[in-house]
């Protein structure tokens, strides 16, 4: 992508899309195309097609998606499957029909089987049942991967497929009904510190382990790979290291200044117990994450305090 190329960032207000927007703006890309959900409902094919015909992007970063944590995924599985399928299908078809040069499809580590061997290699896809707590979202993302592969095979439509680990960073949701684990912990412990609560209740046992990477690191590598990668093969993107939710909670609590007790509600699900990805392809591509988890948590706490004037 040269710096004058028209690049459409779908989902530029969200965690991942805003990271790409910040990165590309900082690097001097001059023709970035965006649209809010109010301006363009990507679930509507006719509106999406007209948007592509009118703007004619050369490249697309597909960061738009319905996302959320365990609670949201369990409560609205039909929405997670239907909405994400609709968004993906409409963008792929519109991109093909308007001669987009290349599309970036962003998946999720939840595409891998619930009892996947660790670390999770790309070839483990579809080798076992999915984790039930986020099956709808995972199925949609798997369908997107297959769509990319089949569009390439049948139409020679070019795309790259990146599977990031758990992401966090600016513009992540702090709504406990829809947030991811790290932003939820930040909210709970900062609020508890401000309100002088004696205890904080967290879902699950805390034994589940997760791999975290800052969204800005994904934007860096993703932009570089748009030129490097020629086929829609899956590429895991992450740090290659994980941490238990209990360890993460302890770290966030300390940084938020919370000194009370933590109660684990084991009646709530842990989700997939281990989700560490094999990221052995990344060194060959010349990428290594730059933002340490502790520094990233500091940034999340600072952002939440600004949002709430805490």
Active site (catalytic) residues:
137
- SS3 at position 273: coil
135 and 191 in contact (C-beta within 8 Å)? Answer: no
Q: Which residue has the tokens 């061997």?
A: 117
The H or E element that residue 192 is part of is helix 181-194
Q: Which pairs from 12-16 meet CB under 8 Å and 24+ separation? A: 12/63, 13/37, 13/171, 14/63, 14/64, 14/65, 14/67, 14/171, 15/67, 15/167, 15/168, 15/169, 15/170, 15/171, 15/172, 15/173, 15/215, 16/63, 16/106, 16/164, 16/167, 16/215, 16/218, 16/219
Q: How many CB atoms lie within 10 A of CB 130?
A: 20
- Residue 181: closest CA among 282, 287, 71, 279: 71
Taking the C-alpha atoms of residue 235 and residue 25, their distance in angstroms, rounded to an integer, is: 25
């Amino acid at each position: 992508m040269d710096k004058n190329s028209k690049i459409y960032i779908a989902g530029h207000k969200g965690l991942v899309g805003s990271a790409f927007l910040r990165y590309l703006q900082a690097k001097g890309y001059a023709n970035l195309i965006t649209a809010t959900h109010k301006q363009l409902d990507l679930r509507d094919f006719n509106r999406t097609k007209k948007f592509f015909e009118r703007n004619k992007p050369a490249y697309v970063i597909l960061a738009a998606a319905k996302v959320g944590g365990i609670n949201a995924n369990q409560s609205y599985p039909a929405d997670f499957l239907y909405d994400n399928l609709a968004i993906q299908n409409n963008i792929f078809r519109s991109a093909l029909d308007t001669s987009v040069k290349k599309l970036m499809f962003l998946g999720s580590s939840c595409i891998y089987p619930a009892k996947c061997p660790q670390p999770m290699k790309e070839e483990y896809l579809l080798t076992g049942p999915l984790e039930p707590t986020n099956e709808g979202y995972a199925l949609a993302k798997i369908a997107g991967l297959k769509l990319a592969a089949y569009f390439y095979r049948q139409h020679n439509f070019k795309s790259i497929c990146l599977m990031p680990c758990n992401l966090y960073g600016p513009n992540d949701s702090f709504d406990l009904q829809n947030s991811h684990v790290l932003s939820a912990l930040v909210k709970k412990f900062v609020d508890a510190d401000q309100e002088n609560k004696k205890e904080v209740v967290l879902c699950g046992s805390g034994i589940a382990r997760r791999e975290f990477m800052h969204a800005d690191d994904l934007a860096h590598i993703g932009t570089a790979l748009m030129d490097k990668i020629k086929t829609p093969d899956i590429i895991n993107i992450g740090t290659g290291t994980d941490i238990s939710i209990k360890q993460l909670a302890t770290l966030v609590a300390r940084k938020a200044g919370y000194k009370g007790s933590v109660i684990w509600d084991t009646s709530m699900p842990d989700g997939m117990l281990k989700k560490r990805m094999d990221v052995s392809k990344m060194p060959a591509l010349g990428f290594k994450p730059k933002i340490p988890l502790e520094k990233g948590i500091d940034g999340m706490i600072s952002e939440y305090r600004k949002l709430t004037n805490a």
